[in-house]
Amino acid sequence: MSQLSTFHVGKYLFGVDVSLVQEVVRLQQITPVPLAVPEIAGLINLRGEVLTAIDLRSRLGLPPAEGGREPVNVVVRVDDEPVSLLVDEIGGVLEVSQVPFEQTPSTVDERVRDLLLGAYTLPDRLLLALNARQVLDVGQESRAA
């Protein structure tokens, strides 16, 4: 994993293996799914395909974004099923093979720590590498079952 596709959520910079990212789209419409777990933001129409969108803020235990900014869909493909991750803003693709890599600091909230592979210490800030599989592993039971 030498290249990471990066994006901003809250004040953090996250990255996910670029080979997992199918595309990045900005879509207006999202259809909420009642009874789904709160991390599921809803369904989007990606060129005729119905995709589940996961709200990364909610998934990471961050408060909802303030202001009416449209989230960006980072469509990742794991196990051949594309799923959209809603992020605040997209960053660039970073080459990280030369960047020092560290285990996730133990100070990070335990819930979030499971979702991270570790952190790349960029000169000016930390780049948190997401474990895409874990992130997508949202509770599949319905809330009001």
Partner 1 sequence: MEAIDEIVAEFLVESHENLDQLDRDLLALEQNPGSRELLASVFRTIHTIKGTSGFLAFHQLEKITHVGENLLSRLRDGRIGLTDERATALLKMVDAVRGLLASIEATGLEGNADQSHLIQTLSALLEDGATPPPAAAPPAEAAAPAAAPAAPAASGQPGAEPATEPAGEPTAAGEPAAAASGAATKRRATKKATAPAAQAQATDASPAAAGNEPPAPPASPPLGAVLVEAGATTKDAVEIARMEQDLGDQRPIGSILVEHGQTTPAAVDTALETQSAHRSVVDSSVRVDVELLDSLMRLVGELVLARNQLVSRLDDSTDTAKDSSLARSAQRLSLVTSELQEQVMKTRMQPVDAVWSKMPRVVRDLAKTCGRLVRLEMEGRETELDRSVLEAIKDPLTHLVRNAVDHGIEAPEVRKAAGKAVEGVLKMRAYHEAGQVHLEIIDDGAGIDPQKIASKAVERGIVSQGQLTTMTPREILHLIFLPGFSLAPKITNVSGRGVGMDVVKTRIEAIGGSVDVTSRVGRGSTFRLTIPLTLAIIPALTIGCAGRRYAVPQVSVLELVRLSGEHARGGIELISGAPVYRLRDMLLPLVRLDEQLGLVPMGSADADSAIKDDERGGFIVVLHAEQQRFGLVVDDVLDTQEIVVKPLGRHLKGIPVYAGATILGDGSVVLILDAATLARRSNVLANAQGAATVENDKDDETVDPVLVVEVGGGRRAAIPLEMVTRLEEIPAESIERVGGREVVQYRGHIMPLIRLSNLLGAYGDTPIEGVGIQMVVYTRGERSVGFVVERILDIASERSGTRSDIDDHALIGSIVVGEKVVELLDIQAAVLSADPHFYSAGADTDAKTPMEALA
| Site of interaction with partner 1 (CB under 8 A) | 29, 31-36, 40, 42-45, 48-52, 54, 81, 83, 136, 138, 140-145
- The 10 Å CB-count burial string (b at 16+, else e) for 59-96 is bbebeebeeeeebbbbbbeeeeeebbbbbbebeeebeb
Decide if 83 contacts 54 (C-beta within 8 A). yes
Closer to partner 1 by Cβ: residue 74 or 127: 74
Closer to partner 1 by Cβ: residue 54 or 128: 54
Closer to partner 1 by Cβ: residue 28 or 107: 28
Report, in Å, the least distance between residue 116 CB and partner 1.
21
**Residue 75 β-bridge partners:** 23, 84
Decide if 119 contacts 128 (C-beta within 8 A). yes
Integer Cα distance of 96 and 127 in angstroms: 10
Token pair for 110: 């335990």
Report, in Å, the least distance between residue 55 CB and partner 1.
12
Report, in Å, the least distance between residue 48 CB and partner 1.
4
Closer to partner 1 by Cβ: residue 83 or 87: 83
Report, in Å, the least distance between residue 59 CB and partner 1.
11
Closer to partner 1 by Cβ: residue 29 or 98: 29
Report, in Å, the least distance between residue 141 CB and partner 1.
6
Decide if 84 contacts 53 (C-beta within 8 A). yes
